Structure 1
Amino acid sequence: MSDATVRRVAPGLAVLAGGAVLARALSELIGVHELLVAIGLGVILANTLGVPERLEQGLNTHSIWLAAGIVLLGASLTLEAILETGAPVLLVLLATVVVTLTTVELLARNVAGISDRFGSLLAAGASICGVSAVVAVGTSVRASESQIAYAAGIVLLMDAVTLVVYPLVGSYLELPDIVFGVWAGVSMLSTGPVVAVGFAYSEAAGQWATITKLARNVLIGAVVLGYASYYARSDSNGSVTIRTLWETFPKFVVGFLVVVGLASLGAFSSTQQALISSVVDWLFLLAFVGLGTAIRTADLRRLGPGPVLVVMTALVVASVFSLAVALAVL
């Protein structure tokens, strides 16, 4: 990287880094998920002070940090962990993913009047792995940055809700540890909140929640490929080639799958995995400060509350469905 490029990128990178540190500090102070705080800081910056031209190049590197974070996220996944979930749990998982994705797509297209691509971002985020799925699908279908940022913001908002609601419901219903863990793992949106809620409930619930959620995360590749194929066919009047799919497929997903393979072969020690997990957290913080700057309140007012209501409805449907199935088969 040339000195001139560094000078152009450095101011914006400094803003991302400062926002990431501030987001973590504020998160600990006010008890709100740090990624939600990060995206909020970006929104505040963009809609109050504005984004000066000299910051734009550095802020636009947020896509690089997102891609890197998703790739490294694969270090926490192994094929062995997936197989340990067992057939009944995989049944609950797959059924819930299908129900959630279908519910969001149907409501977005037929009730809320949301554009197809934006609806697909919401469906992927709600059904697979939250923000990571939003970003992966958003890249593969060439959604706008504002759509990706708004969908990610909705996912994080739902994460904040489920962090409070799930433990309360689990305690009220006195759910068995395995049922609670699997329920959280297959229906909550993002990995961090799932793990937090699971271990807050019990050690066993935390283990089941983590394994189930990581197994669900693996489906990101299939969902991205499916959406990339669908929109590539739509954009090219029904003609889809391998080359077209490859051009629209986010290359970092390949990196993600490679890292999963390495993790499955035992390439990472527990210390290395902990270090990688910390790096992923910081990469996502950097990325979401930048993504937040792509959100304009004028756009949100134009879109209205429809997207939030769609995802919330789908979350309720998925939660009730998955809990009923989990109680029946586990």
Structure 2
Amino acid sequence: MSSSKSFSLAEDWVVVILGLGIVFLAIFGVIVPQPSFSWSNFSELGNQVFSIHNLQAIATQFGLVFIVAIIGASLLGKSVKNLLIVFPSVYVLTMLALILAGNSLVKDYNLEAVIFSLAIGLVISNFFNLPDWFKSALSTELYVKIGLILLGTTVIFGDILKAGSLGLIQALVVVISVWYFAFWVCKKLKIDKEMALMLSSAVSICGVSAAIATSGAIKGDSKKLSYIISLVLITAIPMMIFMPYLADKMGLSQEVTGAWLGGSIDTSGAVAASGSLVGEEALKISTIVKFSQNVLLGIAAFAISIYWSYSKSVDDETKKEKPTLKIIWERFPKFVLGFIFASLLFSFFISPETNVAVKGSLKFIQGLWFTLAFTSIGLETNFKDLFQQDNKKPLYAFLIAQTFNIIVTLIIALLLFQ
């Protein structure tokens, strides 16, 4: 069901408004209490996690994120009516994931809440047929990006300049090499040019956003775009879970691991989740590196538009629509500006006393948005989507290109961040 509202904003601007809104509420004294989810036995589960005091904290936390989600849906022109049913459902599943992850035995195995929230969502989506109106109310990207802006409050701006410059070098090398390799593989497998362009951008730049931006630049087929998005989301899941453990077995530092994760994994949410599995430094570096790739999105969309406009395979009407520099700004991920603003604010303008007072609450809410996002990813991901396509060549091309991406990014990360 679509909203009848005629007013809506681009998602990235909505994210900036909502993310910074939460930050300023905390600065001005609206600090949400942090619930506890730690327990070792059923007695502690009842007396601590399900205590009246803790349930009140959970309810207060729910009130904040629910209001933010409603405002977000309204600004995006999405159905608020559907959200009133879907968001509480997602929140309850997320609370279940947080409770499971809070068990002391689970903590010993370093299993984070995002893994449980993803698993719960996947079980539901793959064993039950969720209605389209339910899936349309899920706002995965919105939740991830709000969490990323809140992450900016913990990242010193000098770290952005240092890691960002190295990240940009890595992004340039990785994006260019992986894009051309993926396009070459598609050509060898005789995949049509439209699919090849969207697939190459998705695997080399930033997953879903890159696929959508490329589709917009070339006016791509929606079915092809939907299939590529399914590829991105489903392949990001095992990478998010296993790459941190592989990095640990290889003895990689948190800096190298973060750069590897940020450059290899295609979705910002999976990058944040995998980084958090490794540690604070890995989370910081992986996010900055992923942002370095994201800022190339506008330039890539512009270049692809030029290529497509002059390609012999497109019709005359498409050739008349010449790309402009406006495309670069339109495709630039605006939520990155919110992240940088939050970092500048807490690096230079917020007093140490205020920082101490708000950082715990903001960090918890940041993690909550990530966990909500992965519950949503699980709920909207169905493994059948990969195998319903008659032509498996795009799947093979994506897997080959992603393997190349993992190897190249690891080499560059070792050279730059070791």
TM-score w.r.t. structure 2 length?
Answer: 0.56
Residue 185 of structure 2 is aligned with which of 91, 99, 107?
107
Could you tell me which residue of structure 1 aligns to residue 307 of structure 2?
Answer: 230
- Asked if 2 retains the 8 angstrom alpha-carbon contact of 1:121 and 1:134, the reply is yes
Kindly report which structure 2 residues correspond to 1:120-199, keeping only aligned pairs within 5 A, or say none: 120-199=197-276
Q: Which of the numbers 286, 289, 304 marks the counterpart of 1:212? A: 289
Match of 1:41 in 2: 125
Matched ranges for 1:2-13 at <5 A: none
- RMSD (Å) for aligned C-alpha atoms: 4.7
Partner of 1:117: 194
In the other structure, the counterpart of 2:397 is 310
More helix by share: 1
Distance 1:233 1:66 in 2: 35
Task: Rate the CA distance shift 1:237–1:60 in 2: closer, same or farther, 3 A.
Answer: same
- Contact 1:184/1:194, CA 8 A, preserved across alignment: yes
Which deviates more, 175-184 or 195-204? 195-204
C-alpha change, 1:221 and 1:23, in structure 2 (3 Å) is farther
- Determine if the alignment matches structure 1 residue 266 to structure 2 residue 345: yes
Q: Distance in 2 between the 1:167 and 1:287 partners?
A: 19
CA contact (8 A) 1:126 1:189 kept: yes
Contact 1:96 1:318 in 2 (8 A): yes
Q: Could you give the per-residue CA deviations for residues 224-257 of structure 1, whole angstroms, max 9, x where no partner exists?
A: 22223333444446445357x75x7895757546
- The one-letter code of the counterpart of 2:261 is A
Structure 1 CA distance, aligned partners of 2:412 and 2:218?
33
Instruction: Report the equivalent of 2:110.
Output: none
Question: Between Structure 1 and Structure 2, whose CA radius of gyration is higher?
Answer: 2
* Alignment check: 8 A CA contact 1:122 1:311 kept: yes
Deviates more, 1:191-200 or 1:275-284: 275-284
2 CA distance for matches of 1:314 and 1:298?
Answer: 16
Q: Structure 1: how far apart are the matches of 2:289 and 2:141?
A: 23
Candidates 322, 341, 351, aligned match of 1:241: 322
Compute the displacement of 1:273 (Å).
Answer: 8.9
Per-residue deviation at 1:60?
A: 6.6
Q: 2: CA distance between counterparts of 1:81 and 1:313?
A: 34
Determine helix, strand or coil for the equivalent of 1:113: coil
- Helix, strand or coil at the partner of 1:266: helix
Q: Which runs of 4+ in 1 moved over 3 A?
A: 8-46, 58-62, 65-82, 86-90, 232-243, 248-289, 295-300
What letter corresponds to residue 326 of structure 1 in structure 2? Answer: A
Q: Distance in 2 between matches of 1:133 and 1:186?
A: 14
TM-score by length of 1: 0.69
The residue type paired with residue 162 of structure 2 is: E
Gaps of 5+ in 1: none
| Amino acid in the other structure paired with 1:150 | Y
Structure-2 change in CA distance of 1:325 and 1:68 (3 Å): closer
SS class of match (1:302): coil
Distance 2:366 2:79 in 1: 25
Contact 2:272–2:286, Cα closer than 8 Å, also in 1 = yes
Identity rate of aligned residues, in percent?
18
User: The residue matched to 1:231 in structure 2 has which SS?
Assistant: helix
Alignment partner of 2:389 out of 281, 301, 317: 301
**Amino acid of the residue matched to residue 208 of structure 1?**
I
Contact (CA 8 Å) 2:240, 2:274: kept in 1 or not?
yes
Aligned residues: 311
Could you say which structure has the greater relative contact order, defined with CA pairs below 8 angstroms and 6 or more residues apart? 1
Deviation at 1:87, TM superposition (A): 4.6
Structure-1 residue corresponding to 2:172: 94
Match of 2:278 in 1: 201
Higher deviation after alignment, 250-259 or 116-125: 250-259
Contact 2:208 2:232 in 1 (8 A): yes
Amino acid at match of 1:106: W
Show CA shifts across 1:113-142 (max 9, x none): 323222222222222222232233333332
For residue 209 of structure 1, report the CA deviation from its aligned partner: 2.0
Whether contact under 8 Å (2:294, 2:333) holds in the other structure is: no
